[in-house]
Amino acid sequence: MEIPYTFAGLPPLPLEKARVAILPVAYDGTTSYQAGTRFGPQEIILASRFLEMYDESLGFEPSDLGIATLPELWPDLSRPEAAVNEVEKYVTKILKKRVFPVILGGEHSITAGAVKAFYKIYPKLSVLTLDAHADLRETYQGTRYNHACVSRRIMEMGIPTTIMGVRCIPSEDLPLLSPPLSLPPRGGGVGGGAKLKVIWAEKLKEKKDWLSLISANLTEYVYLSIDLDFFDPAEVPAVGTPEPGGLGWSETNRFLRRLAQKHRVVGFDVVELNGGLHHTPSSYFASRLVYRLIGLCNKKS
Ligand SMILES: [Mn+2]
């Protein structure tokens, strides 16, 4: 039996023939706590080779959609901005081929590059981030492209931004939440004043219907960014910045199903797995999440 080193161990597929493309981004240039998220993509791909192809909750095999695994991207380390721009370039390449991009991180800062690429194709884009942290800092450790600034960079593009699952925030960010921060778009963006919505993790624990909390801030086209520290460290301990009090696999899956039913999720990333820790349950969790989302966002043809 042969299992290729591709996502889900699938036979290599050229981008032209795929419906879904996996872009592994091995980057952790600005990680503050425990470095090692650059090894996240390879750990997810390794674990994914042991997935069952039939997804019992979807009722089909997402592998049938045609999933291409692209070579791992090791971005330019000269400046954090260069890394973000490189991600933008590669995601643009995938979108131009009309293929659904799935970006594997790597640290969260790479999302800014992916979102830039999506926004050029989908002017009515909104971004939904699942994250324990709001990442709203203007600058951190000398760069505006730090992982702790990613949602701020997205808002500056003029894109409505929703962050849910937050349970750790610096006091300087609190004034941004009430009334919610609204930033004019830079560089002639068409999104108008971008709106911010932050939902605390505690709120998600109180309420079953998560979508009703955020749907007003979502548009027709949604880019989804999942920082794995959204989940409780009891389920996914191997992340760059673990934070107690997170959410679980089951309720999050129920939400993601509803989200994909009501909105067009045009691409997603799963970031912040600390692959350097080689924690099999976390890696497998991440690979299962990626595979499930591929199936939820791309209807069986
Ligand atoms: Mn985070």
User: Of the ranges 5-19, 162-176, 197-211, 285-299, which one carries the lowest mean pLDDT score?
Assistant: 162-176
> How many Cβ atoms sit within 10 Å of the Cβ of residue 198?
24
> How many Cβ atoms sit within 10 Å of the Cβ of residue 237?
17
- Which sign, positive or negative, has the C-alpha torsion 157, 174, 176, 214? positive
Per domain, the residue ranges of the chain are: 7-297
Taking the C-alpha atoms of residue 146 and residue 127, their distance in angstroms, rounded to an integer, is 18
Tokens for 265? 């999720």
Q: What is the 3-state secondary structure (H, E, C) of 93-121?
A: HHHHCCCEEEEECCCCCHHHHHHHHHHHH
Taking the C-alpha atoms of residue 143 and residue 108, their distance in angstroms, rounded to an integer, is 14
Please write the tens of the pLDDT for every residue from 67-96: 999 999 998 888 888 999 999 999 999 999
C-alpha 133 – ligand 1 centre gap (Å): 4
Note the pTM of the prediction, 2 decimals. 0.94
Q: What is the mean pLDDT of the chain?
A: 92
The DSSP bridge pattern shows strands 100-104 and 20-24 to be: parallel
CA-based radius of gyration for the chain: 18
C-alpha 149 – ligand 1 centre gap (Å): 11
C-alpha 17 – ligand 1 centre gap (Å): 34
C-alpha 231 – ligand 1 centre gap (Å): 10
pLDDT of the residue at 31:
78
Tokens for 129? 């981030």
C-alpha 14 – ligand 1 centre gap (Å): 33
Please compute, for residue 53, the number of CA atoms within 13 A of its CA located in the half-sphere on the CB side: 10
C-alpha 8 – ligand 1 centre gap (Å): 26
Coil/strand/helix, residue 91: helix
C-alpha 270 – ligand 1 centre gap (Å): 11
Are the C-beta atoms of 83 and 112 separated by less than 8 Å? no
C-alpha 271 – ligand 1 centre gap (Å): 9
Please write the tens of the pLDDT for every residue from 118-147: 999 999 999 999 999 999 888 898 889 888
Domain topology for 7-297: Arginase; Chain A (3.40.800)
Residues lining ligand 1 (ion), CB within 5 A? 131-133, 227, 229
